[in-house]
Structure 1
Amino acid sequence: MRRRRFKHVCLAALLTLAGLGGAGTVPAVASGGGAPAGSSPSAADAAPASTALLDAMRREFGLTEEQAVARLDAERDATALEPRARRTAGTAYAGSWFDAVGGRLTVAVTSRSSQATRAALRAEGAGVRVVEHSARVLDAAKSRIDRLPAPSAVGGWHVDPAANTVVVTVVRDKTSDNDVQRFLAQARAAGPVTVETVAAAPRTFAAGTVGGDPYYTGNVRCSIGFSVHGGFVTAGHCGQAGAGVRGWDGSYIGNFQGSSFPDNDYAWVNVGSGWWTVPVVLGWGTVSDQLVRGSAEAPVGASVCRSGSTTHWHCGTVLAKNETVNYSQGAVHQMTKTSVCAEGGDSGGSFISGDQAQGVTSGGWGNCSGGGETWFQPVNEILNRYGLTLHTS
C-alpha cells in the first residue's frame, strides 16, 4: 500500500507543478475554433505504443498484440483524415466514424453528393455511405431539442452519424412517464429522432473526501485532467471560480481560475507553492504512465482510455460527440459519450486516445463492476475558452 501511494504522490505532484512552465506563467492564447497549435498527432507517429498499453487494449478489446498495433495505426490515420474528409464532402457531409471492423474512417454523405466527391473520399482512404440527412440538418434538429425543457428521466441526446438520426436516451423504466412522452413528441417534431433506453440517468462523478487521492476542494474529491502551462484542467462541477484546491497531502496547490457548470463542465486551476506541471497521465500500474503529445480529436468508434483517482485506468470506445447530457443540476452541451466506466471521485480525470488528450471526465451512469457509460468535456474547447496551452512532451 505504501509503495502504491508513493508512486501516486510523485506522479500527482508531476501533474500539478509550475516548474517547467514556471509558476505564474501567463498562458498563451490557443487558436480559435479547433485544436490549438501543436496538437497534431504527427509526433505520435514516431512513438511506438508501449507494451503496457498494448496489453490493456488486448484485455479491453480482446485483440492480439498485432491487432492492437494495427488498430492504433488505423485510428491515427482516421484522426488525421477526418477534417480533410469533412472539407472534401462539403455541404453533403453527414458525419463520420471509425469502423473498427474495416479499420478505416467511414464518411456519410447525402444523395446530393456527386460521384466525383465520393470517389475523392475513397481515394483519400475513407469508406463512403450514402444517407438521407446531412450533418447540418441533424445538428439543427439537435439544436432545437436543446431548447426544450427535459425531464430528469431523459438522459441526453446526440447526433448519431452511423444511424443518421438524433438519438434520445430515456431511463428504461420511465419511458411511459407523461413528461417523457411529451418531451419525445416535441423532439420528434424537431427532426429525425430515434429513442434508446438506458439503465440509469447520468450523474457527475465527484465524491466526498477520501484520503490518498489527487486533489480536493472543500469536501469534494476530484481528479486532475491535463496539465496546461500554469496549471491543469478539470471538471467544472468540482469547484467554483476562486475555490482553493489542496493536493493529496492537504497542501495548497492553487485556486479555480475559471469554472462553468452546468451548460458546460470545465474548469482550470492554477498551480504554485512547489507544485509544477508535466505532460503525464497516470497509468496506475495498469499501463505505464502516458506522455501527452497533443490533442488531436479521435473520431467516433476510436478507442479511448480514462485515468481517474477512484477506478484508475479503464478503456473503451468513443460512442458519440456533441451530446447534450441532462444532469439533475442542468443540461451540459457538446459532450463526448464513451463506453468507458467511471465512479465517484473520477470526475475531472483524463480521457486520452493513444498519446492525444481528448477531454476531462464529467459523469455517466453505472460503475466499473457492472459497466456503464461516461461522458467527457472535450479538452480543446477548454483550452480555447480560457486561452490555455496544453503541456505536451
Structure 2
Amino acid sequence: MNRQRALAVTAAGAIATALSLAAGAAPASAEILDAKAEEARAELTGNVSEALISELQDTFGLTEAEAYDRLAVEDVAADLLEEVPADLDESYAGLWVSEEADEIFVATTDAADTTGLRAEGATPVLVEHDLATLEDAAAAVAPISMDGYYGNYVDVVNNTLVIEAADTATAAGLIEAAGIDPSLVTVDTAAEAPQTYFVRGGDAYIVENSWRCSVGFSVRQGSTPGFVTAGHCGSAGDQVTSGEAAPGTFRNSVFPSADRAWVAVGSGEQLLDDVNMYSGTRDVANATQAAVGSSICRSGSTTGWRCGTVQAFNQTVNYAEGSVFGMTRTNVCAEPGDSGGSFISGNSAQGMTSGGSGNCSSGGTTFFQPIGPALSAWGLTLVTT
C-alpha cells in the first residue's frame, strides 16, 4: 500500500514533550507493517461484505482498494493490541492507528523498546508518562462527585489524562481533591454534559409497556437465549413486553458504575447472529477489541446506522444518574432513542450504546459499554457466525 510517511509526533498529534522515534527507522517499520497488512488483506478478500466496504468508502472517502487497506491495518493493530502491552509491561503507554490508517503507533517510556516495536511493524513514540500512571490518575479522579465535572479519559495519542469539566476552576478543584500531579492533566472545557440515550436503538423493545431501548447482541447463558443491552434500560426483574425483540426478563443489570444488562428470552426464540444496518445486516463473527483510531459503526432506531472511529478506552462518564466507568469513547453521533444498540467494528462486536452529547445534525460524542465485561460477569456466550 502507498503511504505518506511523517514524524510520529506530527502524524499522531502527540504532545510537545513526546519524541518521535520514527526518524531514520520508519521504512523498516513500514515494510514490516505492509507485509503483515498484505497477509491480513489476503484473508479479508472474499470474506468481507460489500456493504462494509461501501460503508468505509462513504464514511472516510476511500476507494475500494483503500477500504481493504484500512481494514487490513486495523486487523494488524487489533493483534498488536493483544500482544504489545504484556511485552512492554511498565513502559507501555498506548497504541493507536493513524488517522489515515496507514501507520500503527505504540507509545513507550523506554527507548530500549524501539527496536522490538519496529520489528513488529509499529512506529514507536517516546513519551513521558506510562499508561499505568495515567490510568492510576484517572482512577483517583473517577469516583469524585463535583458539579460541572463531566468525566475523564486517557488520551494515548497525546499522552495525557483529559478531564472534561464546565470550567477550569472545577477541574482545578477536582485535581486537588484527587491529589494527582497536574502535569498529567489536560482540561477540556468545551465538553458538554452527557446524557443517556434512553428510548430506542437497534431492534427496539419495550420495557414494562412504558419505555423503549434496543438489542445490543444475541447471547446465551448456557442453554438460555437472550441479548445484551444497556443497563440504564431496565433493572433486574423488569419485563420486555413488546417490540421487535422477543419478550423476556432482565436477568442482570448494572447502572450506574457500568451500563450493561442482559435479557433472557423464551427457550424457543430464534437468536440472530447479525446487526440491523437499516439497509441490510452485518454478521457478527467475534468480540475482538478494535484499537484506538479504528473504524466503528453503531445501530440505533432513532438515527439508524452511523459510523466513525474509536477515540479512547476507559472513559469515565458522569451522567445525572451517576458515574459510569470503563466506557469507550467514539466520534460516532447518536441521539436519544439509540440506547443499548450495537457498536461493531468490521465483524467484531464492540459494545452497547450508553450515551453522550451532541446529535447527528451537528456531530457529537457517544460512549459505549464494552461487551467483554458483560460476557465475563454473567457467563454469556456471544452468538456469532
Do these two structures clear the TM 0.5 threshold for a shared fold by scoring above it?
yes
Would you say the 8 A contact 1:362–1:374 is kept in 2? yes
Match of 2:141 in 1: 145
- AA partner of residue 289 (structure 1): T
Would you say the 8 A contact 2:257–2:324 is kept in 1? yes
Could you tell me how far 1:252 is from its partner in structure 2? 6.0
- AA partner of residue 336 (structure 1): T
Q: How many angstroms apart in 1 are the aligned matches of 2:188 and 2:94?
A: 20
Match of 2:5 in 1: none
Could you tell me how far 1:64 is from its partner in structure 2? 1.8
Q: How many angstroms apart in 1 are the aligned matches of 2:60 and 2:149?
A: 30
Would you say the 8 A contact 1:107–1:126 is kept in 2? yes
Equivalences, count: 340
Q: Does 1:214 align with 2:195?
A: no
Report the CA distance shift for 1:46/1:233 in structure 2 as closer, same or farther (over 3 A). farther
Would you say the 8 A contact 2:309–2:330 is kept in 1? yes
Match of 2:330 in 1: 338
Match of 1:7 in 2: none
- What SS does the aligned partner of 1:189 have? coil
- What SS does the aligned partner of 1:83 have? helix
Q: How many angstroms apart in 1 are the aligned matches of 2:95 and 2:127?
A: 12
Match of 2:28 in 1: none
Structure 2 stretches of 5 or more lacking a match? 1-39
Would you say the 8 A contact 1:44–1:293 is kept in 2? no
Q: Deviations over 1:25-66 (max 9, x none)?
A: xxxxxxxxxxxxxxxx99974653222222222221122222
Report the CA distance shift for 1:247/1:69 in structure 2 as closer, same or farther (over 3 A). farther
Could you tell me how far 1:247 is from its partner in structure 2? 3.2
Alignment of 1:154-303 (within 5 A): 154-170=149-165, 174-175=166-167, 179-186=170-177, 189-190=180-181, 192-207=184-199, 214-218=204-208, 219-229=210-220, 230-248=225-243, 253-272=247-266, 274-285=268-279, 288-303=280-295
Could you tell me how far 1:220 is from its partner in structure 2? 1.5
Q: How many angstroms apart in 2 are the aligned matches of 1:301 and 1:200?
A: 22
Q: How many angstroms apart in 1 are the aligned matches of 2:204 and 2:268?
A: 15
Q: Which moved more, 1:99-108 or 1:382-391?
A: 99-108
- AA partner of residue 138 (structure 2): K
Q: Which moved more, 1:42-51 or 1:136-145?
A: 42-51
Report the CA distance shift for 1:180/1:246 in structure 2 as closer, same or farther (over 3 A). same
Match of 1:17 in 2: none
Q: How many angstroms apart in 2 are the aligned matches of 1:76 and 1:228?
A: 24
Match of 1:103 in 2: 102
Would you say the 8 A contact 1:78–1:104 is kept in 2? no
Q: How many angstroms apart in 1 are the aligned matches of 2:374 and 2:102?
A: 30
Match of 2:341 in 1: 349
Q: How many angstroms apart in 2 are the aligned matches of 1:119 and 1:86?
A: 15
Q: How many angstroms apart in 2 are the aligned matches of 1:126 and 1:222?
A: 40
- AA partner of residue 70 (structure 1): D
- What SS does the aligned partner of 1:373 have? strand
Q: How many angstroms apart in 1 are the aligned matches of 2:352 and 2:379?
A: 17
Would you say the 8 A contact 1:253–1:273 is kept in 2? no
Would you say the 8 A contact 1:159–1:320 is kept in 2? yes
Match of 1:75 in 2: 74
Q: How many angstroms apart in 2 are the aligned matches of 1:363 and 1:147?
A: 19
- AA partner of residue 135 (structure 1): L
Q: How many angstroms apart in 2 are the aligned matches of 1:165 and 1:75?
A: 23
Pick the aligned partner of 2:357 from 357, 365, 370. Answer: 365
Could you tell me how far 1:183 is from its partner in structure 2? 2.1
Q: Deviations over 1:105-151 (max 9, x none)?
A: 211000x342xx32111111111000011111111111111232232
Fraction of identical pairs, as percent = 44
Would you say the 8 A contact 1:160–1:166 is kept in 2? yes
- What SS does the aligned partner of 2:248 have? strand
Match of 1:307 in 2: 299
Could you tell me how far 1:90 is from its partner in structure 2? 2.1
Could you tell me how far 1:205 is from its partner in structure 2? 0.3
Report the CA distance shift for 1:139/1:340 in structure 2 as closer, same or farther (over 3 A). same
Q: Deviations over 1:83-103 (max 9, x none)?
A: 212122222111111113352
Would you say the 8 A contact 2:149–2:170 is kept in 1? no
Q: How many angstroms apart in 2 are the aligned matches of 1:226 and 1:44?
A: 25
Would you say the 8 A contact 1:89–1:113 is kept in 2? no
- AA partner of residue 93 (structure 1): Y
- What SS does the aligned partner of 1:198 have? coil
Pick the aligned partner of 2:315 from 317, 323, 344. Answer: 323
Q: How many angstroms apart in 2 are the aligned matches of 1:44 and 1:232?
A: 30
Q: Does 1:377 align with 2:369?
A: yes
Q: How many angstroms apart in 2 are the aligned matches of 1:150 and 1:64?
A: 47
Report the CA distance shift for 1:301/1:182 in structure 2 as closer, same or farther (over 3 A). same
Q: How many angstroms apart in 2 are the aligned matches of 1:47 and 1:234?
A: 31
Structure 1 stretches of 5 or more lacking a match? 1-40
Backbone CA RMSD of aligned residues: 2.4
Would you say the 8 A contact 1:82–1:105 is kept in 2? no
- AA partner of residue 227 (structure 1): S
Would you say the 8 A contact 1:92–1:113 is kept in 2? no
